[in-house]
Amino acid sequence: MDDGIRVLVTGAAGRMGREVVKAVCGADGLALAGAVDIALVGQDAGNVAGIGSIGIPIRADLEAALRDLRPDVMVDFTIARVAQANIMIAIDHGVRFVVGTSGMGSEAVEAILHKAAVRGAAGAIVPNFALGAVLMMRFARAAAKYLPDCEIIELHHDGKIDFPSGTAKATAHEVASARGDAVGHARGLGTRGVEIEGVPVHSVRLPGLVAHQEVIFGGPGQTLTIRHDSLGRDSFMPGVLMAIRKAVSLDRVVLGLDPLLD
């Protein structure tokens, strides 16, 4: 368990956290150093993740875990308010971070970026770890140069509280940047509808969904739809593992997976 990049997972008892524990334990060159959550404290993280006992109990105190276990990378899948605090603690302990928690506002991200810059910390804040979603955003940016009129529809499971999703916000920014109008703030368009940097975004929350997004472009006599579907949480794990491996050589905080693909 001591070989490779040592990873600590926060939110280890949650749905995504369990998948990360499972993925890290099965990945070459990575080792699970610890697991933190306020739920299921004391239970074996492997048993919670469904892979059997691995001898790593879930702990409640992140600061103590970072101090005692000395991981190389902290992976956070919690909730926005907790994630921001966790990242600040990781920075204080000189631990790189990979964050998939959604719902963090721009002020929270700016605060993280500022502290990381002051302390020389590095990590990745990623709205969507699915590699296909990253490609969808790239393709949307390319399309926006030629078909500037578009709307975004993002669809997620009914347990996702925040809306619009981080992926939808990031896509809207890519579209607006390509059109040259990446300015302004989000404004409401009604229930679960906002306009982000001039791009209308609509949110759907229903049981049976996982994570899906359509970017629909329209022009004279034609439409273009770019769609990505995550059909299970395992779709995010290749991106998570890639981010962990890349994080150890980063010299700054990056936003999204795109900077890590090249």
What's the per-residue H, E or C state across 103-171? CCCHHHHHHHHHHHHHHCCCEEECCCCCHHHHHHHHHHHHHHCCCCEEEEEEEECCCCCCCCCHHHHHH
In-domain check, residue 241: no
Q: Are residues 182 and 210 in the same domain?
A: yes
CATH of the domain at 205: 3.30.360.10
Q: Are residues 13 and 109 in the same domain?
A: yes
* Structural tokens at position 44: 């074996």
Nearest to 71 by CA among 40, 44, 98: 98
Domain that holds residue 76: 5-121
Q: Are residues 142 and 215 in the same domain?
A: yes
In-domain check, residue 202: yes
pLDDT tens for the chain, 262 residues long, are 456 999 999 999 999 999 999 999 999 999 999 999 999 999 999 999 999 999 999 999 999 999 999 999 999 999 989 999 999 999 999 999 999 987 788 899 999 999 999 999 999 999 889 999 999 999 999 999 999 999 999 999 999 888 899 899 999 999 999 998 865 566 666 666 899 999 999 999 999 999 999 999 999 999 999 999 999 989 999 999 999 999 999 999 999 999 998 7
Give CA–CA dist 245/242, Å, rounded: 5
Q: Are residues 157 and 196 in the same domain?
A: yes
Assign residue 114 a region (left: φ > 0; alpha: ψ between -120 and 50; beta: otherwise).
alpha
In-domain check, residue 239: no
Domain count, the chain: 2
In-domain check, residue 258: no
User: In terms of C-beta density within 10 A (0-12 exposed, 13-18 middle, 19 or more buried), how is residue 184 classed?
Assistant: exposed
Catalytic (active site) residue 228 = no
In-domain check, residue 244: no
**Dihedrals phi, psi of 102, to nearest 5 degrees:** -95, 165
Catalytic (active site) residue 160 = yes
In-domain check, residue 246: no
Give CA–CA dist 100/56, Å, rounded: 22
Catalytic residue, from 93, 115, 157, 160: name it: 160
Catalytic residue, from 156, 169, 202, 246: name it: 156
CB count in 10 Å sphere of residue 142: 12
User: In terms of C-beta density within 10 A (0-12 exposed, 13-18 middle, 19 or more buried), how is residue 93 classed?
Assistant: middle
In-domain check, residue 57: yes
Q: Are residues 91 and 196 in the same domain?
A: no
The predicted structure's pLDDT at residue 1: 45
Q: Are residues 180 and 85 in the same domain?
A: no
